[in-house]
Structure 1
Amino acid sequence: MTDFKVLTGNPTQLGVDKTQSGYNFAVSVPDGAPADLLIYRYGSREPEQVIPLPEPERTGQVSAVLLELPSGQKWEYNYRIGEQVVPDPYAREVRTLPTDHETDRGEEFRCSLECPAGASSRPLEIAYEDSVIYKTHVRGFTKQSRSKVKHKGTFLGVKEKIPYLKELGITALMLMPVYEFEKVPRNGRECRHIMDIGEMSETGIRENYWGYTGGLYFAPRRYYCATEHPTQEFADLVDALHGAGIECILEFYFGADMAVQAVLDVLHYWRLNYQVDGFHLLGQGQWIGPVAEDALLKKSKLLYLSFDAEHLYEGGKVPYYRNLAELNLGYEGMMRRFLKGDGECLEGAAWYLRKNGDAVGCVNYFADQDGFTMADMVSFEQKHNERNGEGGRDGSNYNYSWNCGVEGPTKKMSVRKLRRQQLYNAFLMLFTSQGTPLIYGGDEFCNSQSGNNNAWCQDNETGWLSWGRTKDGEQLKKVVRQAIEFRRGHPILHKKGPVRLMDYKACGCPDLSYHSRRAWVFPADSSGRSLGVMYCGAYARRADGKEDDSIYIAYNLHWEPYTFALPNLKKDMKWSVKADTSRDEVFYPEGEEKVLKDSDEKSILVPPRTVMILIGK
């Protein structure tokens, strides 16, 4: 045993910090609980020295000691609180020991004393109205054999895919939890699951693939690391993303019992050390208000279910930088219903298509990790979660999906064509909605989870993105890329604040208007399935200062054709068709749009289940 020199430490900074005199350790300990600091030689299972942390020497609930550790040796540490050996909640980097089957120790962590690496770039601060978010899982994004990256399932693998993300046109990458969390949940480690041949095993272990739980919030997940240096690898990923003009947004789950200061410590650390651009916060607790008002995070994107905007911005005050945004939960359900042709959706669809805010942004999506992928949304009506080991009882029963006539994969060309067209419709609806669009990784190329709508434990081909190239997938990806480019080129489709539905610029046309068989008239039948929406270009300016084009979107989700009336344009202007989802080539090339004939200027016949975009030039 080595005898280390132990001095009184500084209790104001939790975690471990290197000082001129040694290493300062500080940890919060519950009242009355015995505690020890355990120092290990690197790779050893047994501690080199056990340093008592007696309660009388604590400041409040914090024990702090300063250790002078011998140089020339690599050291690791843990704490023993009561009878349990635990990692430091403030550890910046951890290592996982191999499972000890003989002693049944399970997964063990060792906390590193190494100074963590930081990113050298700065956050990009891209406005919500100019953002397109792509959400994915670090491991699942590139783990599949056909992902064409060298370092599959890692931060380096994501870095290798940055050119793909750049080409697609996204501006922000949102990553599911990247901090250390338990791979095997403590509750319900043993479960029954279905084997590949369809037989039940006696016992099986379900692994926590997604990571929506508590954990070691300061430490990048080593399981996602291709090297021995997870902090450096993650920092390099952030710098590479910033170099490509792409923001990095991280998801964190905090429970209701999480202290406000602890949450702020976590977010401050990732913001200051790794320069991440924002956070999607999950869970509920008293911490959300202080986080929203925190001065250090005022230019970091903060996404949550909802914010008390009236309290945060009294008197309708608009923030200098709109950093808060709400996940538009109602969008997914309503727009899926509208897409599949449900009645009584027009008012709701119109609301979600235009929803946006002055003070708080709005993020729209058709799919997230919970529920069907977009490809499964048009291929399955029943969830198929048997492999999760819960007898198909888990996962939502309300997916608002339509299989287009056949459940699951099919060779029937008419069904496949309809599914393809429905996906075109969905993406055009997403990118012609106000607010900020979010794509769930793989949806842009028809990624399927075989009908599993709750793949939380599927660290396998089900949960990974399937990068196998298909004709349908390649064509859809092309349409998504074109839709993003079209949206970016027309600021009228992504305004900073809400539309007013009135002619407040006295230009003879409201900023947004609704049309049906009659121009300027919202469909009289609320059970209808067709809606015309026009944005007046005079209410937005392009980068060159010129007025934007007026844009008319005809959403016909009925199974029959529908004739839309077209508003009159100014003199010498004509309507041209820019996109038509009933065509194999959805978007017309720039300068080759289909100009309507004089005889067709008053109306246009839109085929069944088709979204058509017209521009006034």
Structure 2
Amino acid sequence: MTRFVTEKGDFAEQGPKVSGNDVLVSAVADIGTVPAVELYSRKDRKKIATVRFPKDSRVGSVYSMRIKDVDSENTLFRIRSGKKEYIDPYTRYISGNDRFGKRDAYGSFICPKSSVSHRGPHIEWQDVILYQLNVRSYTKDRTSGVKHPGTFDGLREKIPYMKKLGVTTLILQPAYDFDEVGEVSMDGVRRLNLWGYVPGNYFVPKPSYAAADPAKEFMDLVEELHVNRMEIIMQFYFLPEHSLHFIQDVLRHWVMVYGVDGFELLGAELPVKGIVNDPYMTDTKLIFNDIDEDMIYGRSTPRVMNVGIACSPFMYDMRKYLKGDEDMLGRVSKHMLYNPEKTAVINYITTYLGFTLKDLVSYDRKHNEKNGEGGADGSDYNYSWNCGDEGNSRKKAVNSLRLRQMKNAMMLLILSQGVPMLRAGDEFCNSQKGNNNPWCQDNRISYLDWTEAEKNRDFLKFVIKLISVRRAHPVLHGRYSKKLYDYISCGVPDASYHGEQAWNQSFANYNRHFALMYAGYYEKRSDGKNDDSFYIAYNMHWTGHRFHPPKPAKGRRWEILMSSGEGRESGIYDADRNELAVYQRSIVILMTKDAGSGK
């Protein structure tokens, strides 16, 4: 074996790096244990040398050394401490792990340099439409039509589709190099972890998500998104033992090297305040789940609003309302307008953890038998409704109701004042066959079936139009909370609740219908003119109701813009009687138009 000259290293910076003809490497070891560096040939993975850290190269539990005259481009390494062999957690580049399900990585001394030249668009929260996806399952199915399925390049090929859909910001399930080789299930089968909510090589894009060089492919993805005025947010899962210092180093690395626009942070006991107060994160979006904004800011108000809080109560309450539960109007009406001052609120009806939208209206209970846990995994609290038939149905009435319910769900989500988050595939009725926890299903249960986009093209067009309506009208996604009174003396409040009669709301526990009106006077469109006014009638009752909206301003008239129903179920507005007939379990949007014209 080759012998190398060593000397004390640099403790100011962690992680392997090249310094001239030398390499610097560090390691953390238990007191009394002196670690070593195993060097390997990149070409054939044969061990070149075992290099022990000098005894005087320790500060606390951290060792650091300089290894002289190393061919850094053709040499790989691992750290050995006692019987344990591992990769330095600060490693920026690895070789191996390029096949999903096989872990054979070595650390590299190479540090990738950023090639992302276009800065992120820094979209304001009120203009964001989030789109949550898994890199592998999004394009892995052969129906995706991409050149490299299941990769960053495959995702990049879908940017035109996502732009047409109208989403602005992607949220990727873990795409760092997590360990996908899972535990053995109850049935004795070792299943792969498709989701990635486990530790891993946090500084490295997942090699098995790349067709070639993972660092370059990920940078190319970010660059293309930024060119198209779109953003990318990454999910990271941290353990309680991960220090604030380590978490900050990880996040800073992904911002400065890969140009990502934000993070959704998951895990127990996260040092939330320390993450938010990091000056490097000031204009980076940070999403946390179900925490109180006062826990972050107390009584102070942030100078820049970059924090979003994902809101699971919205999901549960909207699901209950969708299937017609009683006593929901009070909570649902508040969710529709909730738009806090200090943080953004992230609303969703479906997410990776649970049913898809199609399954939410097709199954009363989960069907997780293939997960190998005897059906014990996954939540039993889905608040779903199969519309009268479990699973796939050939009944026309059932399928018609399911379609209307999916449209209702999209309207409840996208017409809320908070930031909407769509689960990828919901826009074209993707199904997981009733599995609400497919973390281990690296197969067609999890893979998106892109033939559904064509089969359900009318529903996809509906979602595209709904998103475009939201984005075109600031009154539907304002920066500030609605005040519910007339504070500009225009004659109507900025937002108002209504029952069947104008200005007469009734949130009695037996009611399942109400209306919201947004006055266009309070927001300006991009052309500088006042926005249009909207009257949205929500009816989750199993019988129809007739609404009488407030009279529009002089020279304006109400007109049906969109409805979750079709044909005779789409709603009828009688202008002479100022009456809107809303079909059972449906939502209708009225918008003001110039009276006497089609404009």
User: TM exceeds 0.5?
Assistant: yes
Aligned counterpart in structure 2 of residue 608 of structure 1, from 575, 579, 584:
584
Local SS of the residue matching 1:615: strand
Residues 1:221 and 2:213 aligned together:
no
Amino acid at match of 2:435: N
Aligned counterpart in structure 2 of residue 144 of structure 1, from 141, 145, 152:
141
Amino acid at match of 1:67: I
Looking at structure 2, the residues matched to 73 and 509 of structure 1 have their Cα atoms a distance apart, in angstroms, of 69
Local SS of the residue matching 1:268: helix
- Residue 223 of structure 2 corresponds to 239
- Per-residue Cα deviation, 1:243-282 (whole angstroms, up to 9, x for no partner): 1111010000011111010000000000100110000000
Aligned counterpart in structure 2 of residue 282 of structure 1, from 263, 266, 274:
266
Q: How far has the Cα of 1:54 moved from its partner?
A: 5.1
Aligned counterpart in structure 2 of residue 337 of structure 1, from 320, 324, 336:
320
Percent of counterpart pairs with the same letter? Answer: 36
Q: How far has the Cα of 1:121 moved from its partner?
A: 2.1
Q: How far has the Cα of 1:40 moved from its partner?
A: 0.7
**How many residue pairs end up in the alignment?**
591
Local SS of the residue matching 1:437: strand
- Residue 230 of structure 1 corresponds to 214
Looking at structure 1, the residues matched to 426 and 44 of structure 2 have their Cα atoms a distance apart, in angstroms, of 45
Residues 1:599 and 2:599 aligned together:
no
Looking at structure 1, the residues matched to 351 and 55 of structure 2 have their Cα atoms a distance apart, in angstroms, of 47
Residues 1:107 and 2:116 aligned together:
no
Q: How far has the Cα of 1:94 moved from its partner?
A: 1.5
Using a 3 Å threshold, how does the CA distance of structure 1 residues 598 and 169 change in structure 2: closer, same or farther? closer
Matches within 5 A, 1:47-446: 47-53=47-53, 56-71=56-71, 74-96=74-96, 107-118=103-114, 119-185=116-182, 188-189=183-184, 191-192=186-187, 203-227=188-212, 229-307=213-291, 309-310=293-294, 312-313=296-297, 315-317=299-301, 319-446=302-429
Q: How far has the Cα of 1:91 moved from its partner?
A: 1.1
- 8 Å CA contact 2:23–2:70 kept in 1: the answer is no
- 8 Å CA contact 1:530–1:555 kept in 2: the answer is yes
- 8 Å CA contact 1:79–1:88 kept in 2: the answer is yes
Looking at structure 2, the residues matched to 97 and 304 of structure 1 have their Cα atoms a distance apart, in angstroms, of 29
Amino acid at match of 1:109: A
Q: TM-score, normalised by structure 2?
A: 0.95
- 8 Å CA contact 1:238–1:275 kept in 2: the answer is yes
- Residue 199 of structure 1 corresponds to none
Amino acid at match of 1:441: A
Which deviates more, 247-256 or 536-545?
A: 536-545
Using a 3 Å threshold, how does the CA distance of structure 1 residues 595 and 206 change in structure 2: closer, same or farther? closer
Looking at structure 1, the residues matched to 505 and 59 of structure 2 have their Cα atoms a distance apart, in angstroms, of 67
- Residue 197 of structure 1 corresponds to none
Amino acid at match of 2:271: W
Which deviates more, 50-59 or 148-157?
A: 50-59
Using a 3 Å threshold, how does the CA distance of structure 1 residues 224 and 286 change in structure 2: closer, same or farther? closer
Local SS of the residue matching 1:534: strand
Using a 3 Å threshold, how does the CA distance of structure 1 residues 205 and 382 change in structure 2: closer, same or farther? same
Local SS of the residue matching 2:452: coil
Amino acid at match of 2:332: A
Looking at structure 1, the residues matched to 97 and 480 of structure 2 have their Cα atoms a distance apart, in angstroms, of 51
Q: TM-score, normalised by structure 1?
A: 0.92
Looking at structure 1, the residues matched to 435 and 79 of structure 2 have their Cα atoms a distance apart, in angstroms, of 40
Amino acid at match of 2:184: R
Amino acid at match of 1:487: R
Looking at structure 2, the residues matched to 526 and 533 of structure 1 have their Cα atoms a distance apart, in angstroms, of 18
Local SS of the residue matching 2:13: coil
Amino acid at match of 2:106: R
Q: How far has the Cα of 1:497 moved from its partner?
A: 1.7
Amino acid at match of 2:328: C
Q: How far has the Cα of 1:18 moved from its partner?
A: 1.7
- 8 Å CA contact 2:39–2:78 kept in 1: the answer is yes
Which runs of 5 or more residues in structure 2 are unaligned? 594-599
Local SS of the residue matching 2:236: strand
- Residue 597 of structure 2 corresponds to none
- 8 Å CA contact 2:536–2:587 kept in 1: the answer is yes
Which runs of 5 or more residues in structure 1 are unaligned? 100-104, 193-202, 588-593
Local SS of the residue matching 1:337: helix
Local SS of the residue matching 1:40: strand
Local SS of the residue matching 2:181: coil
- Residue 440 of structure 2 corresponds to 457
Local SS of the residue matching 2:359: helix
Amino acid at match of 2:118: S
Amino acid at match of 1:606: V
Looking at structure 1, the residues matched to 507 and 424 of structure 2 have their Cα atoms a distance apart, in angstroms, of 38
Q: How far has the Cα of 1:27 moved from its partner?
A: 2.4
- 8 Å CA contact 1:36–1:53 kept in 2: the answer is yes
Q: How far has the Cα of 1:124 moved from its partner?
A: 1.6
Q: How far has the Cα of 1:531 moved from its partner?
A: 1.2
- Per-residue Cα deviation, 1:227-249 (whole angstroms, up to 9, x for no partner): 1x111111111001111111010
Using a 3 Å threshold, how does the CA distance of structure 1 residues 413 and 472 change in structure 2: closer, same or farther? farther
Amino acid at match of 1:89: P
Matches within 5 A, 1:510-529: 510-529=493-512
Q: How far has the Cα of 1:16 moved from its partner?
A: 0.9
Local SS of the residue matching 2:515: strand
- Per-residue Cα deviation, 1:524-548 (whole angstroms, up to 9, x for no partner): 4223111101111111111111111
Looking at structure 2, the residues matched to 306 and 2 of structure 1 have their Cα atoms a distance apart, in angstroms, of 55
Query: What is the aligned-residue RMSD (CA, Å)?
Result: 2.1
Amino acid at match of 1:91: T
Looking at structure 2, the residues matched to 533 and 24 of structure 1 have their Cα atoms a distance apart, in angstroms, of 63
Local SS of the residue matching 2:221: helix
Aligned counterpart in structure 2 of residue 553 of structure 1, from 522, 526, 536:
536
Looking at structure 2, the residues matched to 116 and 216 of structure 1 have their Cα atoms a distance apart, in angstroms, of 15
- Per-residue Cα deviation, 1:131-174 (whole angstroms, up to 9, x for no partner): 00111000000000100101000000001101100111110111
- 8 Å CA contact 2:558–2:575 kept in 1: the answer is no
Residues 1:15 and 2:12 aligned together:
no
Using a 3 Å threshold, how does the CA distance of structure 1 residues 8 and 288 change in structure 2: closer, same or farther? same
Matches within 5 A, 1:497-512: 497-512=480-495
Looking at structure 2, the residues matched to 469 and 97 of structure 1 have their Cα atoms a distance apart, in angstroms, of 32
Amino acid at match of 2:62: V
Amino acid at match of 2:152: F
Q: How far has the Cα of 1:368 moved from its partner?
A: 0.6
- Per-residue Cα deviation, 1:54-87 (whole angstroms, up to 9, x for no partner): 5553012211111233449611011012211011
Using a 3 Å threshold, how does the CA distance of structure 1 residues 263 and 486 change in structure 2: closer, same or farther? same
Looking at structure 1, the residues matched to 344 and 27 of structure 2 have their Cα atoms a distance apart, in angstroms, of 38
- Per-residue Cα deviation, 1:561-608 (whole angstroms, up to 9, x for no partner): 011121122212111110111126999xxxxxx99544232x311011
Local SS of the residue matching 1:544: coil
Amino acid at match of 1:426: A
Amino acid at match of 2:374: G
- 8 Å CA contact 1:191–1:205 kept in 2: the answer is no
- 8 Å CA contact 1:420–1:472 kept in 2: the answer is no
- 8 Å CA contact 2:500–2:514 kept in 1: the answer is no
Using a 3 Å threshold, how does the CA distance of structure 1 residues 369 and 586 change in structure 2: closer, same or farther? farther
Using a 3 Å threshold, how does the CA distance of structure 1 residues 470 and 362 change in structure 2: closer, same or farther? closer
Looking at structure 1, the residues matched to 453 and 254 of structure 2 have their Cα atoms a distance apart, in angstroms, of 38
Local SS of the residue matching 1:403: coil
Using a 3 Å threshold, how does the CA distance of structure 1 residues 7 and 72 change in structure 2: closer, same or farther? closer
